[in-house]
Every structure is written in C-alpha cells, then in structure tokens.
C-alpha cells in the first residue's frame, strides 16, 4: 500500500521535471529571440549606406598645398585635426584617372611636384574631363597621409564641388 507521503513525493518529483522543461523552453525562446535580434542588427549594419562627403558640410576649406603642408609639418596634429572629417580642397589638377576599383581619382598638385593630395570620388561620381594645370574644387573624407618616397594626403568618398577651366 502506498502511503500519502510517498504519493506526494512522486507528484513533487513529477512537478520538478515539468518546471525544468518549462525553464528550458523559456531559455530556448530567449536564445532564439536573441539570435533574431543579432541577425537583424547584423543585416542593418551590412546594408548601411557608406558615408560620403556629398551631403556633408565641410569641416574646413583649404587649398591642396595648405593641407599637404600641415600633414608634412606635423602629421599627428594634422591627423587629429582632420581624421574622418570632410574637407573641401581647391587646387591644380595633376591628373584625373580611374583606379583599380573603377572609381575616379583626382590628384592635386602641391608646391613640391613630388607631393600631392589625392581624392578618390564616391562610387558613381565622376570628374569632368580636365587638363593638367586647370583648377578644381573637391571635397572628401580625410583618410590619411602616406609619407614614403612621395608624400600624399588621401581623401575618399569625394565629390567635385566646382571646376574652373
């Protein structure tokens, strides 16, 4: 004969299994919801449009020689000042070409012919056909300074503001 204490113990044990299963279901549901949220955030960031200089107000407007001189005189200070900021630059065209990615690259002269300012235009943007020595005004996001054999200030995601022939 089963005593009531023994029957209560069996019911209590069965209740614990049910509680454990319910807790596991809740944990599984939270994990699935967390994964869905992470996937949504990942999808948003993956498809987020690139930042371009097209609609942004320039942080500074300088000529190509001034910008190059700031970087060559004190690169850390210039980098702190211009890093990831939109800069509007006017200067004399050294060359306009297409890079390996198919983007237009505008190279501007400085007072030293071995040193330049290079602006890679945003995808789909083009520069008007201009001869070397003509003036142009572009803006782009400051991307760094290469100071190896020749010095070059680099900007990307740029657009042509004006051109003067």
Q: CB burial class (10 A; 0-12, 13-18, 19+) of residue 26?
A: exposed
- Of the listed ranges 1-5, 39-43, 62-66, 74-78, the least confidently predicted one is 1-5
- Of the listed ranges 60-74, 84-98, 119-133, the least confidently predicted one is 119-133
Residue 44, helix vs strand vs coil: helix
Q: What is the C-alpha end-to-end distance of the chain, expressed in Å?
A: 108
Across 26-40, 117-131, 138-152, which has the greatest mean pLDDT?
26-40
Residue with tokens 């609609």: 55
**Residue 134 predicted with pLDDT over 90:** no
Task: Grade residue 22 by pLDDT with cuts at 50, 70 and 90.
Answer: confident
**Where is 35: in which H helix or E strand?**
helix 4-46
Q: What percent of the chain has pLDDT over 70?
A: 88
CA atoms of 158 and 119, how far apart (whole Å): 6
**More confidently predicted of 165 and 144:** 144
**Residue 130 predicted with pLDDT over 60:** yes
**Residue 141 predicted with pLDDT over 60:** yes
Residue 53 has a pLDDT of 72
Which tokens is 140 given?
Answer: 């782009």
Q: CB burial class (10 A; 0-12, 13-18, 19+) of residue 165?
A: exposed
Q: At what angle do helices 64-73 and 75-82 cross, to 10 degrees?
A: 130
pTM: 0.67
């Amino acid at each position: 004969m089963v005593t009531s204490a023994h029957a209560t113990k069996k019911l209590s044990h069965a209740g614990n299994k049910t509680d454990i299963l319910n807790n596991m279901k809740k944990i599984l549901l939270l994990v699935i919801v967390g994964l869905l949220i992470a996937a949504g955030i990942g999808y948003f960031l993956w498809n987020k449009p690139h930042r371009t200089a097209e609609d942004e107000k320039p942080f500074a407007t300088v000529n190509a020689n001034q910008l190059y001189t700031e970087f060559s005189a004190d690169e850390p200070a210039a980098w702190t000042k211009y890093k990831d900021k939109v800069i509007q630059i006017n200067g004399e065209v050294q060359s306009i070409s297409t890079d390996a990615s198919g983007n237009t690259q505008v190279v501007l002269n400085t007072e030293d012919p071995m040193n330049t300012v290079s602006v890679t235009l945003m995808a789909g943007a083009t520069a008007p056909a201009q001869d070397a020595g003509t003036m142009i005004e572009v803006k782009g996001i400051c991307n760094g300074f290469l100071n190896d054999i020749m010095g070059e200030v680099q900007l990307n995601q740029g657009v042509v503001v004006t051109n003067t022939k």
